[in-house]
């Protein structure tokens, strides 16, 4: 990791971060037609907002991770690292930071979903100790 990325700071998302976060998510390809990022942020701020973390380098948001815990399992969503700063350990640091926060809730296991075609992200999570669970992921849109 470069000395510059050693200065990465993490903190909880603040409302004034919203536009920078959405721009980062767009840059990272995380914004898709079926998801409204502003609505996703608004929902997250209603439940465990401390589990929505941003990573800053020189006061510029370059990374995010959003997590949740419903008493049985933790979930990770919206892990993003600005493409200019990838492969420097920042994604790992963001995941480790949110894992530590989930542990404080007593969370025993974390789930996450990755599109099966996204080999690079799957390999990233495998390096962090995640493995493929023998389950079928189902979903239903209520809104």
In eight-state DSSP terms, residue 134 is S
Residue 139's pLDDT is what? 87
How many residues are given for the chain? 143
Residue 79: closest CA among 61, 68, 97, 91: 91
For residue 4, pLDDT over 70 is answered with no
C-alpha span between 113 and 72 (Å, rounded): 17
Decide: 71 and 49 in contact? Cβ < 8 Å: no
For residue 2, pLDDT over 60 is answered with no
- Mean of pLDDT values over 90-95: 96
- Mean of pLDDT values over 13-29: 97
C-alpha span between 103 and 60 (Å, rounded): 27
Provide the whole-model pTM: 0.90
Q: What is the CATH number of domain 5-127?
A: 3.40.630.30
pLDDT digits (tens, 9 = 90+) for 26-49: 999 999 888 899 999 999 999 999
Decide: 67 and 101 in contact? Cβ < 8 Å: yes
For residue 1, pLDDT over 80 is answered with no
């Amino acid at each position: 990791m470069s000395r510059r990325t050693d200065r990465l700071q993490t903190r909880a998302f603040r409302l004034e971060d919203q536009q920078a976060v959405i721009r980062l998510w767009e840059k990272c390809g995380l914004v898709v037609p079926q998801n409204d990022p502003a609505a996703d942020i608004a929902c997250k701020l209603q439940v465990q907002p401390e589990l929505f973390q941003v990573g800053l380098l020189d006061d510029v948001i370059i990374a995010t991770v959003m997590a949740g815990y419903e008493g049985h399992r933790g979930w990770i969503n919206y892990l993003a690292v600005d493409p200019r700063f990838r492969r420097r350990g920042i994604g790992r640091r963001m995941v480790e930071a949110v894992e530590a926060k989930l542990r404080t809730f007593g969370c025993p296991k974390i789930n996450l979903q990755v599109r099966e075609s996204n080999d690079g992200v799957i390999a990233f999570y495998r390096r962090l100790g995640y493995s493929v669970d023998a389950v079928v992921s189902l979903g239903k849109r209520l809104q």
